[in-house]
Amino acid sequence: MFIDRKAELGLLEERLKRGRAEFVVLYGRRRIGKTALLLEFIGRHGGLYLLARETSEAENLRRFSERLAAHFNDEFLRKNPLRSWDAFFEYLHGKAMGERLIVAIDEFPYLVKGNGALPSILQEYWDLKLSRGKIFLMISGSSVGMMERLLGYRSPLYGRRTAQLRLRPLNFFEARAFLPGYTLEDFVKVYGILGGTPAYLLEFSDGRGLEENLLDYFRPDSFLYGDALFILREELDEPRNYFAIMEAIARGKTTLGEITSETGLERGTVGKYLGVLIELDLVRREVPVTASWKSRKGRYHITDPYFTFWFRYVYPNADLVESGQGDALVELVMNDLPAYLGGVFEEIARQFLGKLNKAKELPFRFTKIGRWWHKSEEIDLLALNEREKKALFVEAKWKSLREKEARGILRDLERKSELVGLESWGRYYGLVAREVEGKEGLKEEGYLAWDLEDFEEGLNGA
């Protein structure tokens, strides 16, 4: 099943139409859908898909030779496999001189582990031969750190790629298509548990209740239970300290001081580890949307709901899973889920406003959006257009609100807006909730109000 990735496919197809040599680097965390994207693209346009294995160089070359021989019906190559990467790229060059040839090499870092000179060999062939033909070469990898080193200034491949795509998890609205049988309210819960990684979403069935799916998650042999450890240990050299930091963030310790106090690590050590987590897109740093990125008010959040959920509930309670008491963990999660989903819903509301912004369905087009806070005061979402001097203040609540309660939240939002310091700006006030009673009446008074019903309309209209 191939779902979404319309933007990524569109970028690849746009480059394909140009007709010239292309060298595209595709990377992203494991399970994110890189292979599915490559296979979909090749399925539409033809070409070769070559999957590297963590084996010897000779074995990878033998397997690649088999694929090339079958694709080109080359009996000589079938009997005489390629014996070097020079021979491999020379063969591709010969086949791509006269006609378009699409080649995808998946898990390219495995090949580099087998031969550290491979990036230099590819650089030479790209510069002298491949770039002069009609090849459409794509290399892909799951080790984010290694792929970014291959793209870095010191790498022989620096400056050779014609495009790069970093695949990230699907957003809430894109991921919805995986489990259409769930109500939107239940899918908010699922998204808070699994995030937008396709492989994780495929592990849940919308023919079963949430608690049934969680029981399967909380088993020692579960893919969902074990994959977080697998991915993090693949990317991180000292997982223990990184795990302590991510667990602290998942429990709501979001400032550098709070994380330092919670973990017992030195402040400088925490800062260094946070820098690595940010580079790997596992953690993000936020400052108030009106502040400079240099602000000392930075807060840290885990980027993917799957890891937030895993570090908040699964990692601290691994003993329950390992001892076969998954049902006890399900009960713990279901009792705490409403509180946990507050932060998840805030991010979903941000994505929803982004959709409205793109569709020009807001009072103005915003150019930046984020949280705002100062001391004990906080605004969930503040969208700004600094050129037009317009601001949209929004509260996101994972609750069903009566009209009186909704109006009280909006009035308090007006009060908090005075603290931001945008006196001469045009101001708008909005509310996003699970359900808002009297939405139309609030809109007639000049407020903006949305709930899951509006999300559903947006999905149906997409």
Q: What is the tens place of the pLDDT at every residue in 361-378?
A: 999 999 999 999 999 999
Instruction: Give me the architecture of the 362-461 domain, per CATH.
Output: 3-Layer(aba) Sandwich (3.40)
pLDDT of the residue at 459:
63
For residue 461, name the pLDDT band (cuts at 50, 70, 90): low
Averaged over 90-112, what is the pLDDT? Answer: 94
pTM: 0.88
pLDDT of the residue at 236:
84
Residue 166 in this model has a pLDDT that exceeds 90: no
6-166: CATH number = 3.40.50.300
Burial class for 317, CB neighbours closer than 10 Å (0-12, 13-18, 19+):
middle
Averaged over 413-440, what is the pLDDT? Answer: 95
**Residue 67 C-alpha from the chain's centroid:** 32
For residue 458, name the pLDDT band (cuts at 50, 70, 90): low
Residue 349 in this model has a pLDDT that exceeds 70: yes
Residue 317 in this model has a pLDDT that exceeds 80: yes
pLDDT of the residue at 16:
93
DSSP 8-state symbol, 32:
S
Give the ranges where 19-55 is alpha helix by DSSP (H): 34-45
pLDDT, the chain, mean:
93
Q: Which three-class secondary structure string do you get for 306-361?
A: HHHHHHHHHHHHHHHHHCCCHHHHHHHHHHHHHHHHHHHHHHHHHHHHHHHHHCCC
Listed in order, the ranges of the chain carrying CATH 1.10.10.10 are 172-344
Alpha-carbon span 330 to 296, nearest angstrom: 38
Residue 462 in this model has a pLDDT that exceeds 50: no
Q: What is the tens place of the pLDDT at every residue in 13-42?
A: 999 999 899 999 998 888 888 999 999 999
Residue 300 in this model has a pLDDT that exceeds 70: yes
Averaged over 157-175, what is the pLDDT? Answer: 88
CA distances 461 to 162, 356, 430, 456, Å, are 35, 12, 22, 8
Averaged over 139-163, what is the pLDDT? Answer: 80
Record the tokens describing residue 411, joined without a space: 């009035």
Averaged over 256-269, what is the pLDDT? Answer: 95
Averaged over 420-432, what is the pLDDT? Answer: 95
For residue 154, name the pLDDT band (cuts at 50, 70, 90): confident
Listed in order, the ranges of the chain carrying CATH 3.40.1350 are 362-461
pLDDT of the residue at 155:
80
Record the tokens describing residue 319, joined without a space: 């003993």
Beta carbons of 150 and 174 less than 8 angstroms apart: no
172-344: CATH number = 1.10.10.10
How long, in residues, is the chain? Answer: 462
Alpha-carbon span 369 to 391, nearest angstrom: 10
Listed in order, the ranges of the chain carrying CATH 3.40.50.300 are 6-166
pLDDT of the residue at 4:
67
Averaged over 209-234, what is the pLDDT? Answer: 94
For residue 1, name the pLDDT band (cuts at 50, 70, 90): low
Which pairs count as long-range contacts for 219-227, CB under 8 Å and 24+ apart, including other chains?
A: 219/321, 219/326, 220/321, 220/322, 220/324, 223/199, 224/194, 224/200, 225/314, 225/321, 227/30, 227/31, 227/199, 227/200
